[in-house]
């Protein structure tokens, strides 16, 4: 067997998801039965300080050879880095991903990809013109469970899919009309593009898009009409957002729900019912577990007389590192694209990221949610405080 293709990663930012993702990169691919690609963490940057980047390297137990940088500019200039993982708040994604692309680096950028669809289009134009790989890090799409769902749909297991209802809500209601996040927290802070839609609604939309758009034949691809209801929090960010997406030619409806107040899984178990229901003429696929990290499918068809076929999907762990979160599958996809010279992932093509961002734009517009110019401009500025960290 030929040796695995190795990708050298640079990590941009040192927060919660950067840590989770990097620990996944460091797991052995064999622990998930992957043998064709592997990952190396060669550099980490923090806009706070070089020391913070060095601490991060120790904390995640990356090789001591990994370089620690105290600025994002130094990271993107490192010739040993093949691809940058952007793990800043969504407010920063456009400027940080542009910084990396502008420096000639491939990019995997956290969700939500940007604050506006215009920013997404600009990033994609830049990646295309510079012949670089660029992908939105919606990790859930690369789960074996998601692959199975798409196969079930395209094989006709539940007939034509007419409706998908998907919810990701996190139940952080607090007394006196408050939400249980400090106003400065990125979940509700408008300066950091906070709000339920961009942070969580993207997953509800991911299930609507996987089941009603991605699986449409290429020649019949149809963007949806959007009707949205949005409640705003006192910070200006959205707290509860409900969207109806209508695909008229396909006669299908998607209902994407998200809220910081109520919970899609109030018991954190499976008894509250599936938070995603994909409904076809011949049956239904239920996706159980949080929309970002689901763990079980229930397939109920007319043929099975209403009896559910239950399929469990465990997230494999590297026993030596005692770790495995499920973000490694998207990293494997990025590695395979780099190996094969593909600039975009077939599982989440650029065109689909644009349509999803357009739906989010339209939803925010209908709800009267606006974000500051600094984070919503689509003019790249290498010296933006979002790139220099001068807060």
Ligand X SMILES: NC(=O)C1=CN([C@@H]2O[C@H](COP(=O)(O)OP(=O)(O)OC[C@H]3O[C@@H](n4cnc5c(N)ncnc54)[C@H](OP(=O)(O)O)[C@@H]3O)[C@@H](O)[C@H]2O)C=CC1
Which tokens hold the place of 146? Answer: 């998601």
Query: With binding defined as CB under 6 A, does residue 265 bind ligand LJPVP2WV?
Result: no
Q: Nearest residue by C-beta to ligand LJPVP2WV?
A: 292
Given 199, 332, 333, 358, the residue binding ligand LJPVP2WV (CB under 6 A): 199
Query: With binding defined as CB under 6 A, does residue 90 bind ligand X?
Result: yes
- Distances in Å between the alpha carbon of 323 and those of 7, 27, 41, 60, 72? 20, 7, 16, 11, 27
Task: Give, for 74, the enclosing helix (H) or strand (E).
Answer: helix 72-76
Q: Interaction with ligand LJPVP2WV in 274-293: which residues (CB under 6 A)?
A: 292
Nearer to ligand X, 51 or 151 (CB): 51
Question: At a CB cut-off of 8 Å and minimum separation 6, what does 332 contact?
Answer: 29, 34, 37, 142
Nearer to ligand X, 47 or 258 (CB): 47
CB 53 within 8 A of CB 72: no
Given 29, 70, 89, 367, the residue binding ligand X (CB under 6 A): 89
Residue 133-172 contact track with ligand X, rule CB under 6 A, x = bound: ----x-x---------------------------------
Q: Which stretch binds ligand X (CB under 6 A): 76-84, 89-97, 236-244, 255-263?
A: 89-97
| Nearest-10 crossing angle of helices 117-130, 350-367 | 160
**CA-wise closest residue to 193 among 90, 123, 109:** 90
Residue 32-51 contact track with ligand X, rule CB under 6 A, x = bound: --------------xxx---
Query: With binding defined as CB under 6 A, does residue 295 bind ligand LJPVP2WV?
Result: no
Q: Nearest residue by C-beta to ligand X?
A: 15
| Nearest-10 crossing angle of helices 328-340, 16-25 | 60
With CB under 6 A, what is the number of residues at the site for ligand X? Answer: 25
Residues of this chain that bind ligand LJPVP2WV (CB under 6 A): 199, 292
């Amino acid at each position: 067997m030929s040796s695995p293709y190795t990708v050298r990663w640079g990590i941009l930012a040192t927060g919660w998801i950067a840590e989770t993702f990097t620990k996944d990169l460091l797991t052995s691919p064999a622990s998930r039965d992957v043998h064709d690609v592997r990952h190396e963490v060669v550099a980490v940057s923090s806009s706070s300080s070089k020391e913070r980047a060095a601490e991060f390297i120790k904390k995640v137990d990356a090789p001591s050879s990994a370089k620690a940088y105290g600025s994002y500019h130094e990271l993107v200039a490192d010739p040993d880095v093949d691809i940058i993982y952007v793990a800043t708040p969504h407010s920063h994604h456009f400027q940080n991903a542009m910084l990396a692309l502008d420096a000639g680096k491939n990019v995997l950028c956290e969700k939500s990809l940007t604050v506006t669809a215009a920013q997404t289009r600009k990033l994609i134009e830049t990646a295309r013109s510079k012949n670089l790989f660029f992908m939105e890090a919606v990790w859930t799409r690369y789960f074996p469970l998601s692959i199975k769902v798409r196969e079930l749909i395209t094989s006709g297991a539940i007939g034509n899919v007419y409706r998908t209802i998907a919810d990701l809500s996190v139940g952080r209601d607090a007394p006196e009309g408050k939400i249980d996040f400090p106003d400065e927290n990125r979940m509700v802070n408008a300066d950091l593009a906070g709000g339920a839609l961009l942070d969580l609604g993207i997953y509800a939309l991911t299930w609507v898009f996987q089941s009603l758009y991605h699986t449409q034949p290429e020649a019949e691809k149809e963007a949806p009409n959007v009707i949205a209801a949005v409640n705003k929090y006192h910070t200006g960010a959205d707290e509860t957002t409900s969207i109806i997406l209508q695909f008229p030619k396909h006669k299908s409806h998607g209902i994407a729900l998200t809220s910081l107040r109520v919970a899609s899984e109030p018991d954190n178990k499976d008894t509250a019912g599936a938070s995603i229901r994909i409904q076809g003429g011949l049956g239904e696929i239920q996706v159980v577990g949080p929309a970002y990290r689901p763990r079980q499918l229930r397939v109920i068809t007319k043929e099975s007389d209403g009896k559910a076929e239950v399929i469990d999907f465990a997230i494999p762990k590297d026993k030596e590192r005692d770790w495995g979160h499920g973000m490694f599958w998207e990293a494997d996809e990025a590695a395979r694209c780099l190996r094969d010279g593909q600039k975009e992932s077939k599982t989440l093509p650029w065109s689909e990221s644009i349509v999803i961002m357009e739906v989010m734009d339209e939803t925010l517009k209908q709800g009267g949610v606006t974000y500051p110019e600094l984070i919503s401009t689509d003019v790249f500025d290498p010296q933006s405080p979002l790139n220099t960290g001068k807060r």
